[in-house]
Amino acid sequence: MRSFLFVPADSERKLAKGASFGADGLILDLEDSVAADRKKIARNMACGYLKAADRRGPKLYVRVNALDTGLTLGDLAIVMQGKPDGIVFPKCVGQSNVDLLATWLDAFEAREGIEAGSTRILTIATESAAAVLALTAAPARHPRLIGHSWGGEDLMADLGALAKGPAPGVYDDTFKLARAVNLMASVAAGVTAYDTVYPDIRNPEGLRAEAREARRMGYGGKIAIHPDQVAVIHEVFTPSAEELEWAKRVVATFEGNPGAGVLTLDGKMLDRPHLVLARRVLERAGG
């Protein structure tokens, strides 16, 4: 999946429109976009939406509240009744947190008669200094995991930083580190790395530039906070016709020469890393 779009779970109007914006996945948010006195309302609205939704549309994930709020289990107890496709796990700190969430999902799946292991996990994996260091020390892995995303806003608060960098989309070294660690941890775990949100919703060119940089790095998708951002994200993270043609030709060249380690294509050397990259391009395109 190339894109996720956040939708506040306590907004009936935004929930009603969510599936029409073309995102590959929706994140029904119980956390940052919901005021404290509306948390329980948001839980019930998310559950109702999940039960009524046409599941042939975008994948439906729920961002629960973080472990340190004491709300996570209560969130899961309600929303798992709606059989979400996955849970977005904020302020995740390393493997132990992922394992704890997975254990809770085991129990709720059994309670609801959901196929064991089918509820996936997307972490927001760098929202504190401790989380970045934990991900660096031991990339979190789990069969339920589909990806890690990095978070800059909460990390900025945790660090006491006045900004993430000197200008929108230009990051100081601490945030570059979080972004790079998230990417490498995702690759090490065999899952997709998702780039963080771009908060300036009136700056599509800034979003496009940041998304292109993320894709160049190796990121597979990006999270949106506004419907208008989805089309830009898809534009950037959908392999072009030229990229697909190159990837198919690389794979065909190696398949035609199964014993070769180094080959040439259009006068340029090809070796095994090119084959790995070509297969990844095709995988992201669904080919």
Please state, in angstroms and rounded to a whole number, the distance separating the CA atoms of residues 203 and 132. 28
Output the CA–CA distances (angstroms, integers) from residue 214 to 179, 211, 219, 243, 245, in the order listed. 9, 5, 5, 17, 22
Q: Of how many residues is the chain composed? A: 287
Residues 194-229: tens digit of each pLDDT? 999 999 999 999 999 999 999 999 999 999 999 999
Residue of 286 and 177 predicted with greater confidence: 177
Residues 22-69: tens digit of each pLDDT? 999 999 999 999 999 999 999 999 999 999 999 999 999 999 999 999
Contact 249, 19 (CB under 8 A): no
Contact 208, 236 (CB under 8 A): yes
Helices (H), the chain: 12-18, 39-52, 72-79, 94-112, 129-137, 153-159, 173-189, 204-217, 228-237, 241-255, 272-284
Please state, in angstroms and rounded to a whole number, the distance separating the CA atoms of residues 270 and 263. 5
- Asked if the 3-237 domain carries CATH number 3.40.50.261, the reply is no
Domain boundaries in the chain?
Answer: 3-237, 241-284
* Per-residue tokens: 74: 């209560």
For residue 287, what pLDDT is reported? 46
Residues 71-130: tens digit of each pLDDT? 999 999 999 999 999 999 999 999 999 999 999 999 999 999 999 999 999 999 999 999
Residues 258-287: tens digit of each pLDDT? 888 888 898 888 888 888 888 888 887 764
Output the CA–CA distances (angstroms, integers) from residue 78 to 46, 52, 57, 108, 111, in the order listed. 9, 15, 22, 10, 12
**What is the three-class DSSP state of 70?**
coil
211: which residues sit within 8 A by CB, 6+ positions away? Answer: 195, 198, 222, 232, 233, 236, 237
* Mean confidence (pLDDT) of the chain: 94
For residue 167, what pLDDT is reported? 84
21: DSSP letter: G
* Per-residue tokens: 86: 């996955």
Residue of 241 and 209 predicted with greater confidence: 209
